[in-house]
Chain A
Amino acid sequence: MSRYILSRLGQALLVLWIAFTVSYLLLQALPGDAILIKFQNPELGLGPEQIAALREAYGVDSPLWQQYLHTLGNFLTGQFGYSVVGSVPVAHELLANLPATARLASLGLILATALALAIAFLATLAPFAWLRGALQSIPALFVSIPVFWLGIMLIQIFSFRLKWISVINPGEIEGLILPVITLAVPISAPLAQILLRNIDEASTQGYVAVARAKGASPTWVLWKHVARNALLPTLTIAGILFGELLAGAVITETVFGLNGIGGLTERSVRFQDTSVIQAVVVFSAAAFVLVNLAVDLLYPVFDPRLRKAKGVLA
Chain B
Amino acid sequence: MVQFKEAALVRSILTLDRRTALKGLAGALLAGMAMPAFAQDAPVTGGTLIYLEQQAHTNLYPPAGGFYPNGGVLNQITDKLTYQNPQTLEIEPWLAESWEVNDTATEYTFKLRPGVTFSDGTPLDAKTVALNYDTFGLGNKDLKYPVSEVINNYDRAEVIDDLTVRFHFKAPSPGFLQGTAVIGSGIVAASTLARPYDELGDATKIIGTGPFVVESETLGKELNLKAREDYTWGPVKFAHQGRAYLDGIKYIITPEDSVRIGALLAGQADAIRQIQAYDEPQVVDAGFPIYAPGTRGLNNAISFRPDNPLVADLRVRQALLLATNRKEIVDTLFSANYPLATSILSSQAAGYVDLSDKLVFDQDKAKALFAEAGWTPGADGILEKDGSKLDLTVYVSLPQPQNEGVLQLLAQQWAQVGVKLNVLAGDAGSRTLDLLDPLKTPVNVTMVGRADPDVIKSAYYPKNRDWLLQKGGSSDKTNFVDEKLNALLEGLAAETNREKRLAISGEIQNHVLDQAYTIPFFEEPQAFATAPYVNGLEFEAVGRPSFYNTWLAAH
Contact = CB atoms under 8 A, between A and B. Distances in A.
User: Are A and B part of the same complex?
Assistant: yes
Interface in B248-265: 250, 252-256, 258-259, 262-263, 265
Interface stretch (B56-64, B493-501, B517-525): B56-64
Given A32-B433, A39-B146, A156-B262, A272 B219 contact: no
Task: List the 9 closest pairs (A to B, CB-CB), nearest first.
Answer: A32-B429, A87-B201, A45-B149, A259-B221, A87-B59, A82-B198, A96-B219, A168-B268, A257-B254
Contacts, number: 162
Interface in B226-265: 250, 252-256, 258-259, 262-263, 265
A51 B433 CA distance: 13
Contacts of B146: 39, 44, 46, 50, 54
B252 A160 contact: no
B9 interface: no
A168 B52 CA distance: 9
Interface stretch (A7-15, A263-271, A284-292, A300-308): A263-271
Interface of B: 50, 52, 56, 58-61, 63-64, 66-67, 139, 141, 144, 146-147, 149, 196-202, 218-221, 250, 252-256, 258-259, 262-263, 265-266, 268-269, 399, 427-430, 432-433, 435-436, 448, 458, 462-466, 473-474
Q: Which DSSP category, helix, strand, loop or mixed, fits chain B's interface? A: loop
A88 B259 contact: no
A130 interface: no
Q: Which of B252, B432, B464 has the most CB of A within 10 A?
A: B432
A168 B252 contact: yes
A87 B59 CA distance: 5
A116 interface: no
Interface in A80-132: 82-89, 92-93, 96-97
Contact of B220 (A36, A53, A89, A259): A259
A169 B258 CA distance: 16
A159 B433 CA distance: 44
Interface in A1-59: 30-33, 36-37, 39-51, 53-54, 57-58
Contacts of A30: 427, 429
B252 A88 contact: no
A251 to B, nearest CB: 10
Contacts of A271: 428
Contacts of B258: 152, 156
Interface of A: 30-33, 36-37, 39-51, 53-54, 57-58, 82-89, 92-93, 96-97, 152, 155-156, 159-160, 163, 166-169, 254-259, 263-264, 270-272
Contacts of A36: 429, 432-433
A254 B56 CA distance: 12
A159 B268 contact: yes
A152 B61 CA distance: 35
